[in-house]
Amino acid sequence: MDFYTQNGNTRPIRLSEATRVFAHDSLERKYGLNTLETMSVSLDEVEEFDELSALKKHDLAIMKIAQTAPIRICDGEKLSGAATLGLAISHVVPVTYHGAPFCPSISHLTVDFETVLKKGVNAIKVSAGEAYEKYKNTEKEAFCQSCLTCIEAFEIWRGRYLQALKDLPEYWANYRNLERVPFEPATSFYEAVQSLWFTFAFLRLCGNWPGIGRIDYLLGDYLKKDLENGVLTLDEAREILAHFFIKGCEWINGQYIGSGDAQHYQNILLAGIDEDRNEVTNEVTYLVLDILEELGISDFPTTVRINQTTDEKFLRRVAEVMRQGGGILAVYNEDLVISALIKDGYSEREARKFANDGCWEVQIPGRTFFMYSPFDSLQILQQKTLCCYQGSAAFENFEALYHQYTTDLYSCIEGIFLDRQRLFANSGVPTKDWEWAKQPPCTLVSLFEQGCIEKGLSYLEGGPIYNINSPHIGGLADTVNSLYAIKKLVYDEKKLTLCELFSILQNNWEGEEALRQYVLNRYVYYGNDHDEVDEIAARLLSDFADICTSFNGKCGYRFPAGVSTFGRQLEWSSNRLASPHGRKVGEVLAANCSPTPNTDKEGATAIIRSYCKADLSKLATGAALDIKLLPSSVEGEDGLEALVSLMKGFVSLGGFFMQPDVVDASVLKKAQEHPENYQTLSVRVSGWNARFVTLNKQWQDMVIEQNEH
């Protein structure tokens, strides 16, 4: 069978037929549909349920899931464990009481799989036991008890799988592996992969969506040893690893969800340096690339960490896989990312470990609580700065306007800060002795986040070593372009007053088509390597970052800046006025750190040059650039070299994160009309991928527009 590719060539075949069939079935929704057959388990039989504490309800829920969730063993699977309750696909702990779920779940984190692999869950159990003793008879006792209960539930779930596999000779290897892992340390590559998968699966079963993190860093040494000792061949290892990726498709069910059916934040990182500055890239790295290339599974958003010294051969391999399309690989400039993390206060060794959460927001895995707060910077300009101006004194010049804007921006961020504080602080006033407020239970992820057990505090209550709340600026290009258009029209060319312009915007450019066309076509906007406008972008990002940093130290968490829209430009479009740079009400505008659609006229390298003029090391949680490439531009040897050059240039110019996709807008339009022929066509959405046909029409149109040149 074929796996869809943008590329003219077919995908290579390295895996066994059985594995390919398994992949095909999973992508064709076999297991996703099966998952929807049992949505949840219930606690209806529990007496006096309402009297119980939130933590107690939670513990009962996890235990019930472990005891009664359906066990699924897929034909010929090399790894066992499956998240079989349908509600988990909707980001909820799949337990109900009288039909209603009552427990929220966690995502946007990468948990500490390293400890599970190296020390086993039993080591965590020991720590939890010690914590329980330490915090007995204090208010932390309940959390510690919850830790122990959740581990017990995990053991029960494992026991049920052993029971199911026991008498099936074809799954003997799975059985043998699960006898040890994940409770004991892994002693082979096969065990390590199973340990990783099983832990991940249990978290998912219970509704949480963690990321995987640096998979080659986690598994590389095990594989190396097995290859050296002749325990395993590379082909065998590839089969096992492929099953990991295939099992990760167990939730594909074809349901139409606005933002796509593969948004579960199962992020993976490849390559890059470790804390000792050694390059991680190993056999596992190359195997993952092989698997992605062959099967086209884009459900694990995978990002490659590259730097100034990354091997050319490796970059070529990455480019080869990238141009298969599907938005399958993104890129971090790890030199820049690490410097950003150091600037934000991490030690160098810590910074080098970075991974990400669901999309690209950077964090140190296994020890970070992460949350972000998006806002629309264009709305501030339009509905605060320009609007309030109406009554008060004129902005004499551009500087005065810009100054007012940054003041309004400050108010917005202060609002976010106070809002987060209300949510996370026990007392409303920031003091040196910050006390975290009580939050809904999240014990399962807390087990795998360093700091929680030791402190007796959950993931949401200050447990992890690092805690982050990051304001994310959205609509950046539109705000920059708006400011620029105003500067030119009103202050430089003096074609009209600001008051007149604002009236025109309020009337959606009605009767002013010539002026609108002028503004649309005659000014060169952000994304074309034009200093005059790019300077505004660089300045705004810098000022934004400084505003965020000014709040550090006033609360129990870091407050780093980031840039994103994550597709929100769609929902924001109805709340925005017509823009000074010529766009009408309702138009869907810029994504992430990318240019406003249809304003980039100088090609991908110019977009990157504009983007890199800002000091991106001040944006510690990330600034993502979307790059859309036509299949023809990455064809052949020239195309490969072009992609490699693009990545190299991105690093040398100081970019942060780039998510390229290779897709033809005309193909997407065909897919809109005949979805039945394009079932597995994947596109990059905004930090995650999706099968195009599962996006609703609005999202589809947005992706098409982004891809049209």
Partner 1 sequence: MCTQGAHILAEKHTVDRAACSLCFACAKICPTGALERCGREMSVEDVLTLVKKDQAFYGEMGGITLSGGEPLIQREAVLALLKACKAHGISTAVESCGYVDADVLRCAVPFVDLFMWDIKDTNPARHKQYTGVFPDTIIKNLLLINEMGAKIRLRCILVQGINTDAEHYRSVALLAGNLHNLEGVELIPYHAYGGTKAQFLGGVDNGNKAWIPEKHRLEQAKQILKDYGIRVL
Site residues (CB under 8 A) for partner 1?
514-515, 517-518, 521-522, 529, 605-606, 608-609, 641, 645-646, 648-649, 652-653
Q: Residue 394's CB: how many other CB atoms inside 10 A?
A: 11
- Report, in Å, the least distance between residue 447 CB and partner 1: 45
- Comparison of 418 and 520: residue with beta carbon closer to partner 1: 520
Q: Are 232 and 266 in contact (CB under 8 A)?
A: no
- Comparison of 234 and 515: residue with beta carbon closer to partner 1: 515
- Report, in Å, the least distance between residue 617 CB and partner 1: 17
- Report, in Å, the least distance between residue 562 CB and partner 1: 25
- Report, in Å, the least distance between residue 517 CB and partner 1: 4
168: tokens are: 């099936």
- Comparison of 456 and 655: residue with beta carbon closer to partner 1: 655
- Report, in Å, the least distance between residue 654 CB and partner 1: 10
Judged by DSSP in three states, 668 sits in helix
- Report, in Å, the least distance between residue 568 CB and partner 1: 31
Residues written for the chain: 709
- Comparison of 254 and 649: residue with beta carbon closer to partner 1: 649
| Calpha distance 79→247 (Å, rounded) | 8
- Report, in Å, the least distance between residue 513 CB and partner 1: 9
Taking alpha carbons only, the member of 461, 580, 578 closest to residue 518 is: 580
Structural Rg of the chain based on CA atoms: 26
- Report, in Å, the least distance between residue 516 CB and partner 1: 8
- Comparison of 510 and 641: residue with beta carbon closer to partner 1: 641
- Report, in Å, the least distance between residue 552 CB and partner 1: 33
Q: Would you call 171 exposed, middle or buried from its count of C-beta atoms within 10 A (0-12, 13-18, 19+)?
A: buried
- Comparison of 221 and 635: residue with beta carbon closer to partner 1: 635
- Report, in Å, the least distance between residue 277 CB and partner 1: 24
- Comparison of 207 and 655: residue with beta carbon closer to partner 1: 655
- Report, in Å, the least distance between residue 648 CB and partner 1: 7
Q: Are 61 and 95 in contact (CB under 8 A)?
A: yes
- Report, in Å, the least distance between residue 660 CB and partner 1: 14
- Comparison of 434 and 518: residue with beta carbon closer to partner 1: 518
445: tokens are: 């992820």
- Report, in Å, the least distance between residue 649 CB and partner 1: 3
φ/ψ of 539, rounded to 5, equals: -65, -45
Side-chain half-sphere CA neighbours of 660 within 13 A:
28
Judged by DSSP in three states, 648 sits in helix
- Report, in Å, the least distance between residue 652 CB and partner 1: 5
Taking alpha carbons only, the member of 313, 332, 216 closest to residue 274 is: 216
Provide long-range contacts, Cβ within 8 A and 24+ apart, for 502-506: 502/386, 502/387, 502/389, 502/390, 504/578, 505/382, 505/386, 505/577, 505/578, 505/579, 505/580, 506/577, 506/578
- Report, in Å, the least distance between residue 606 CB and partner 1: 8
| Calpha distance 513→349 (Å, rounded) | 56
- Report, in Å, the least distance between residue 292 CB and partner 1: 25
End-to-end CA distance of the chain: 32
- Report, in Å, the least distance between residue 518 CB and partner 1: 4
CA 515 to chain centre: 40
Q: Would you call 278 exposed, middle or buried from its count of C-beta atoms within 10 A (0-12, 13-18, 19+)?
A: exposed
- Comparison of 201 and 524: residue with beta carbon closer to partner 1: 524
Question: Treating both helix axes as pointing N-terminal to C-terminal, what angle do 312-322 and 283-295 enclose, rounded to 10 degrees?
Answer: 20
523: tokens are: 């000014």
- Comparison of 260 and 654: residue with beta carbon closer to partner 1: 654
- Do β-strands 302-306 and 622-629 pair in parallel, antiparallel, or remain unpaired? unpaired
| Calpha distance 474→540 (Å, rounded) | 12
Q: Would you call 381 exposed, middle or buried from its count of C-beta atoms within 10 A (0-12, 13-18, 19+)?
A: buried
| Calpha distance 663→666 (Å, rounded) | 9
531: tokens are: 């200093």
- Comparison of 465 and 630: residue with beta carbon closer to partner 1: 630
Helix intervals (H) in 323-464? 334-343, 348-352, 377-380, 387-389, 398-424, 443-447, 452-455
- Comparison of 2 and 638: residue with beta carbon closer to partner 1: 638
Evaluate the omega torsion of the peptide bond into residue 12 and state whether it is cis, within 30 degrees of 0.
no
- Comparison of 49 and 518: residue with beta carbon closer to partner 1: 518
- Comparison of 243 and 609: residue with beta carbon closer to partner 1: 609
| Calpha distance 196→118 (Å, rounded) | 11
Could you tell me the sign of the dihedral formed by the alpha carbons of 532, 533, 538, 540, in that order? positive
- Comparison of 318 and 608: residue with beta carbon closer to partner 1: 608
- Comparison of 114 and 600: residue with beta carbon closer to partner 1: 600
Q: Are 20 and 10 in contact (CB under 8 A)?
A: no
H/E element, 160: helix 141-166
- Comparison of 33 and 496: residue with beta carbon closer to partner 1: 496
φ/ψ of 3, rounded to 5, equals: -110, 130
